[in-house]
Structure 1
Amino acid sequence: MQKNEIEIFYPKSQTAWRKWLEKNYLSKQAVWLVFYNKNSELKSITWSEAVDVALCFGWIDSKKIKIDEETSHQFFSKRKPKSTWSKINKNKVDKLIEQGLMTKAGYESVAIAKQNGSWTILDEVEELIIPADLEAKFIDKPNLKDYFLSLSKSAKKLLLTQLLFAKTTQTRQKRIAEIIEQAEQKLNLKHL
């Protein structure tokens, strides 16, 4: 799907976004939502409010594109069955369930994730738990572990996620070696 083939929708309220999803969540695959920044004279719902509504229907946000100084578009689509769940979105789902806002589609999305493991796959990353194979590399070099632990939470999450999703043992070992090498060089850790 090209950007110009997907509907662009400007929800002026959470209610408007919810009505759009009620009408379209089964027939449409995706939509670009329009957001205006805080300094704009035009008002829009916030990203967090939009995600709350999307989760109720089994949808999720992804890439954001800046259009101009006031406007951005955020891509929302049906959640794929193996799509991972962040701690933030799992907490949002708990609140939405308590508030009675989840739809059947939203409940089904959660049930599928719990069944196939995508609901919990990021738990150790979210808790910043160092996997045993990386921890083993730190045993003889505690200063490297200290360096790793000194990184920002987002940098550690990025690296741990890259390890988690390495498709082969060889790729995982290569990524661990790169983390160790970069720590030794005291470089800012970026994408491997």
Structure 2
Amino acid sequence: MVSIPGPILKRYPSSISLQPFPAQTRERRLPTPHIFQPHGMVSFADKPLVGPFTLNEWEAFLSKDPPNDGVRLLLRKSKSTAPGIEYTDARDMALSFGWVDSTARGHDDDYQERCFTPRRARSRWSQVNREVVERLIAEGRMRVGGQAEVDRAKADGRWDAAYRMKTAEPDREFQAALDANTRAKAFWETLGRTKKFPFLFRLMNIKRPETKTKKINLFIQTLERHEFLKS
């Protein structure tokens, strides 16, 4: 076993007898699924470092009330022969429980550290993650918490919006406001699609014209300050 510095959560004994999928009958059913709360967020470096895990151990970890602020998971690099799972398997298992990955950093020659957290309320879905989850659903791999996140995203429009991120453009009102403000427009044009989409997504579901006008004015002020919205 590779010697790994830093705090490591208790490893699960090799005697654990779990199969990666399906596991609907094994999962403890909570009254409500885990939801990551944005207040009091813990930085990447302050999240507990866990692993390296087998897929069964990662499944067991996610099944047993993991920390709401998430973890840094040690993932084996593709060219390494060290023990542990690689990114794709870890991501799929996390999505099935309603967790998502984000920041990654190098650890050593064999491992990288990747942040995994419960999905935040109202967080955007990427097209890649939607496609992965659609496959997991078809294969019967989704857990209660993961399916609950899908249901919420479908109810509030985030599920359909995942496919619109690559093609979304400002509508007539927002474009007119950008054209009328040179500083805001200049900053807008420096942003990539990932940074632009939170603005566009928030405008998509507004029904009342007066509410939309207020929101557009607020966004123009944000862009004037050379700031962007969090996902």
Normalising TM by the smaller chain, what interval? 0.5 to 0.7
Structure 1's 175 and 4: CA in aligned 2 closer, same or farther, altered over 3 A? closer
Partner SS for 2:158: coil
Distance 1:121 1:163 in 2: 10
Please tell me whether the aligned partners of residues 125 and 161 of structure 1 are also in contact (alpha carbons under 8 angstroms).
Answer: no
Question: Aligned pair 1:169/2:216, yes or no?
Answer: yes
Give the Å deviation of 1:70: 3.6
Q: Which residue of 2 aligns with 1:186?
A: none
Distance 1:64 1:36 in 2: 12
Distance 1:176 1:98 in 2: 41
Q: Which residue among 130, 133, 147 is the counterpart of 1:93?
A: 133
Q: Which residue of 2 aligns with 1:142?
A: none
Distance 2:170 2:217 in 1: 18
Question: Aligned pair 1:11/2:49, yes or no?
Answer: no
Q: Which residue of 2 aligns with 1:119?
A: 159
Q: Where has structure 1 moved over 6 Å in runs of 4 or more? A: 175-178
Instruction: Within 5 Å, give how 1:60-79 maps onto structure 2.
Output: 60-79=100-119
Distance 1:45 1:27 in 2: 18
Please tell me whether the aligned partners of residues 9 and 31 of structure 1 are also in contact (alpha carbons under 8 angstroms).
Answer: no
Partner SS for 1:119: helix
Give the Å deviation of 1:66: 1.8
Q: Which residue among 118, 141, 144 is the counterpart of 1:104?
A: 144
| TM-score, length basis structure 1 | 0.67
Please tell me whether the aligned partners of residues 33 and 75 of structure 1 are also in contact (alpha carbons under 8 angstroms).
Answer: yes
Higher percent of residues as helix:
1
Distance 2:112 2:171 in 1: 38
Question: Aligned pair 1:158/2:167, yes or no?
Answer: no
Distance 2:200 2:153 in 1: 21
Q: Which residue of 2 aligns with 1:21?
A: 62
- Please report the RMSD computed on the Cα atoms of aligned residues, expressed in angstroms: 3.5
Question: Aligned pair 1:54/2:101, yes or no?
Answer: no
Distance 2:200 2:127 in 1: 18
| Number of equivalences | 167
Structure 1's 18 and 176: CA in aligned 2 closer, same or farther, altered over 3 A? same
Partner SS for 1:35: strand
Structure 2 counterpart of 1:76, one-letter code: F
Unaligned runs of 5+ in 2: 1-41, 180-188, 204-213
Please tell me whether the aligned partners of residues 9 and 34 of structure 1 are also in contact (alpha carbons under 8 angstroms).
Answer: yes
Identity %, equivalent residues: 23
Unaligned runs of 5+ in 1: 139-147, 179-190
Q: Which residue of 2 aligns with 1:143?
A: none
